[in-house]
Amino acid sequence: AAQLNRVAQAAGKLYFGTATNIEELSDSAYAAIINNRTEFGQITAANVMKWDSTEPSRGVFTFGAGDQIAALAKKNNQLLRGHNCVWHQQLPSWVTAGHFDAPTLSSIVSTHCSALMYVSKFQIPLELNFHPQTKDSWDVINECLNDDGTFRQSVFFDTLNTSFIATALRAARAADPQAKLYINDFNIEGQGPKSTAMVNLVKSLQAQKVPIDGIGIQAHLLVGGVPPTLLANLKQFTALGVEVAITELDVRMTLPVTAALLAQQRRDYQTVISACQAVKGCIGVTVWDFSDKFSWVPGAFTGQGAACPWDENMVRKPAIDGIIAGFA
Ligand code: G3I
């Protein structure tokens, strides 16, 4: 069977990638697939680079788990996507309940982002420090918008209004001038109030000379639910002069799995990939894990699942043919 990163690169994209978690790698069938660079050219840590894993107490940085993912990518010569610097979830309570004043929280955000991207600046002796290679990317800001296009309430927004976004991006750029800096969000696949808000946010950052290189489109989709304006939206985003990546693709369905649902899922994967393929500035696609065995979906959506391109037994699903056809 054709392998996905090879197909993506032959089509001119930078990579086809997947999210993963360390404990999944002890499944040998799973590990054999993820360690195959012709299948996956890029890795995202699904959890272990988040704030609760990396700065569990103020100023105490714990990078060991994240470095295991970085080491995996390095060993396999895969690109790394850092995920993420600033998000309203998976935060330690010292951040959420800290009642910091604005200057203090701003400095906490800045320190955290700098540390994630260039740990040795803080004299923390680590072998890998999530070391970005050229073309590695970071989701510096994750999910800062609501579906209606307003800014999401969070400890950051409530204390700092939108200034935390520029603070985080500037700190990230200063710490690692090589890395591609992204804002990442869901429900911005099609055109609508949220994607319009993303356009306006990027424009306003650009006007203020805040470093911003890319928009991450998560693409957690439901079977049959690819927005018809996806392609137009990719064009709208890349017209801003930033790159775009599909960062967390999966296509869930209401269980049980049927042949008809798998066929529609195949078409949905193809539709998403072919939209990215049609837009030069869409640089690559990452699935939010590749096997149904480790998908986040059943834990988050009761009665839904089977969202990934490989099933729970590491067997390739029709979705893979859709992905390959999408890159054609
Ligand atoms: O680490 C604990 C473990 O100690 C405990 O025994 C276990 C029991 O529930 O929970 C473990 O933590 C879980 C963690 O994943 C690590 O596995 C959390 O409960 C669980 O909520 C957490 O879910 C993650 C979720 O983000 C949190 O919001 C998913 O794995 C992860 O795939 C998901 O990823 C997000 C992206 O970061 C942003 N975009 C949406 C995407 C899907 O929600």
CA-proximal residue: ligand 1, atom 34 (nearest): 46
What is the CA(216)–ligand 1 centre distance, in A?
19
Q: What is the pLDDT of residues 2-32, one digit of tens each?
A: 999 999 999 999 999 999 999 999 999 999 9
Q: How far apart are the first and last CA of the chain?
A: 15
User: Could you tell me if 314 and 29 are in contact, meaning their C-beta atoms sit under 8 angstroms apart?
Assistant: yes
Instruction: Take residue 155 and report the two structure tokens written for it.
Output: 């400890």
DSSP annotation of 132: P
For residue 23, is it left (φ>0), alpha (ψ between -120 and 50) or beta?
alpha
Which H/E stretch holds residue 311? none
| Ligand 1 pocket list (CB less than 6 A) | 46-47, 89-90, 142, 218, 248, 296, 300
ipTM greater than 0.90: yes
Residue 71 pLDDT grade (very low, low, confident, very high; cuts 50, 70, 90)? confident
Q: Cα separations (Å) of 224 from 216, 261, 307, 311? A: 22, 9, 12, 19
Q: What is the pLDDT of residues 129-177, one digit of tens each?
A: 565 445 689 999 999 999 999 999 999 999 999 999 999 999 999 988 8
CA nearest neighbour of 4 among 257, 181, 246? 246
Rounded to an integer, the average pLDDT of 35-64 is 95
Domain that holds residue 63: 4-327
Please state the domain count of the chain.
1
Instruction: Take residue 325 and report the two structure tokens written for it.
Output: 């056809």
CATH number at residue 298: 3.20.20.80
Residue of 25, 47, 249, 293 with the most ligand 1 atoms within 8 Å of its CB, for mutation: 47
Instruction: Take residue 51 and report the two structure tokens written for it.
Output: 């704030």
Ligand 1 atom nearest to 296, measured from its CA: 32
Ligand 1 atom nearest to 50, measured from its CA: 37
Instruction: Take residue 319 and report the two structure tokens written for it.
Output: 């979705």
**Chain-wide mean pLDDT for the chain?**
94
User: Could you tell me if 182 and 213 are in contact, meaning their C-beta atoms sit under 8 angstroms apart?
Assistant: yes
Residue of 89, 296, 308 with the most ligand 1 atoms within 8 Å of its CB, for mutation: 296
